[in-house]
Structure 1
Amino acid sequence: MLRIFKILLVLSVASWGLLGAFGNILDWSGTTGAVTAATSMTTFDGGADNWRATSNPAIIIVGALAIVFFKSASAILCLIGTWQMWTVRAGEATAFAKAKTYALAGCAVAIFMLFSGWIVIAETWFELWRSEVMREAALDAAFRYCGMIGLIALFVGMHDE
């Protein structure tokens, strides 16, 4: 029974990545707008005057593409992991543990993107923590996703009998 829930949880991370990447592509202006808001530092007083603030289109495009790439990579790895876990769900614990590799890698990619992109780069480097507008919309959401995916990875990674 726990193996089935582990599979479903990894599938939910894959769904998050697929839906997120699809949404980022469909609302490309919103995606680039969020990256612009972070990098330009215009959503809080004095931010745009900071030497780190930039509206360089290349940086904005690279940031937006990175979001789509890492969400897609996370989803693909989690889907592969889901399939592998599903095919050995009734097998030996060692086979199921080995099947978790791609699933856990997918979760790690998602955590990497959320933490490095939004917490390290946006919040720390571009001081997005100072923005009343973006704090809840971007940073709180990234923290929530990162935390939930991390918990899922811990649960999935636990030893199976």
Structure 2
Amino acid sequence: MLRRAKSIMILTVAIWGFVGALHNLIDWQGTLIAVKMATSMITIPDGSESWQATSNLIVVWIGALFILGAKLTTGVMCTIGSIRMWKAQGANSSVYNAAKQIALTGCAVAIIMLFGGFIIIAESWFELWRSETMLAPVLGSAFRYAGMISLISIFVALKD
């Protein structure tokens, strides 16, 4: 029963990745605007005057594609991992633990994007922590997602 729960938990991470990517694609202009708001630092008092602020379209597109690519990669890897885990649920521990590897890698991709992209780059480099507009909806969500995916990863990674 526990192995089934782990497979389903990984599947929820896959769904998170696909739903997030879908929303980014459906509102691609909104995605670009959100990234530009972070990189240009326009939501921070005098932020756009800061030396690190940029509206460079290449930087904005790299940021948006990084987010989209990480979510899609997470979705694909966690789907494959969830299926492998489901199929291996009756196998011995070594086979089952091997089946978890791609799922855990998918979770790692999500955590890298959320922590690296949102916390290190957006919050620390572009000082998004100073933005009353984006602090809770952007950084709060990234922290919440990274925390939940991390907890799922830790639970799934436990050896049988």
Distance in 1 of aligned mates of 2:9 and 2:33: 31
TM normalised by structure 2 equals 0.99
Give the % identical residues: 49
Amino acid at match of 1:86: W
Counterpart residue number, 1:125: 125
* Counterparts of 1:38 and 1:25, CA distance in 2: 19
Match of residue 156 from structure 1: 156
Residue 73 of structure 1 aligns with which residue?
73
Distance 2:44 2:101 in 1: 42
| Structure 2 residue identity aligned to 1:115 | F
Cα distance per residue 1:63-98 (max 9 Å; x no partner)? 101100010001111011011101111111111100
Q: Aligned residue for 1:59?
A: 59
For 2:130, give the aligned amino acid.
R
Partner of 1:144: 144
Structure 1 ranges of 4+ moved more than 6 A = none
**Alignment RMSD (CA, Å):** 0.6
User: Which blocks of at least 5 consecutive residues in structure 1 are unaligned?
Assistant: none
Report the 3-state secondary structure (helix = DSSP H, G, I; strand = E; otherwise coil) of the residue aligned with 2:134. Answer: helix
Unaligned runs of 5+ in 2: none
Name the residue aligned to 2:87: 87
Provide the rounded CA distance (Å) in 2 between the counterparts of 1:44 and 1:67. 22
For 1:17 and 1:122, the matched residues in 2 are separated by 20
Tell me how far 1:159 sits from its aligned partner. 1.1
1:34, distance to aligned residue in structure 2 (A): 1.0
Shift of 1:13: 0.2
Query: Which position in structure 2 is the counterpart of 1:111?
Result: 111
Counting matched residue pairs gives 160
Question: AA paired with 1:37?
Answer: M
Structure 2 residue 40 is the aligned partner of structure 1 residue 13: no
CA deviations 1:103-160 (Å, max 9, x no partner) are 0000000000000000000000000000000001110000000000000000000111
TM-score by length of 1: 0.98
